[in-house]
Amino acid sequence: MARAIASNVDRGVSGQGAASNIVVYTSTYSWELFTPMISYVLGTNGKVILSARAVVKNEPYS
């Protein structure tokens, strides 16, 4: 059985990260719906929040 143990001293600090750091990029977009029927079913006040995340590990450069 494998176990993953992660340790990050600078967790939550903005930036690109350092060598071998795992970095999470998050992008959000408030999309205004044009069709009243769809905005009634899906949206809040005629808008839907779209969000995406990408997790990468930086190269071990020094």
End-to-end CA distance of the chain: 32
* pLDDT attached to residue 35: 79
pTM for this predicted structure: 0.56
For residue range 26-51, list pLDDT tens digits in order. Answer: 899 988 888 777 777 777 778 888 89
Residue 42 included in any domain: yes
Residue 4 reports pLDDT greater than 60: no
Residue 30 included in any domain: yes
CA–CA distance, 11 with 8 (Å, rounded to integer): 5
* Domain region containing 43: 22-57
For residue range 9-22, list pLDDT tens digits in order. Answer: 566 667 777 777 88
CA–CA distance, 3 with 48 (Å, rounded to integer): 37
Q: Around Cβ 34, how many Cβ atoms within 10 Å?
A: 8
Residue 10 included in any domain: no
> Residue 47 corresponds to which amino acid?
K
Q: ∠47-51-57 over CA atoms, to 5°?
A: 170
Q: Give me the number of domains the chain comprises.
A: 1
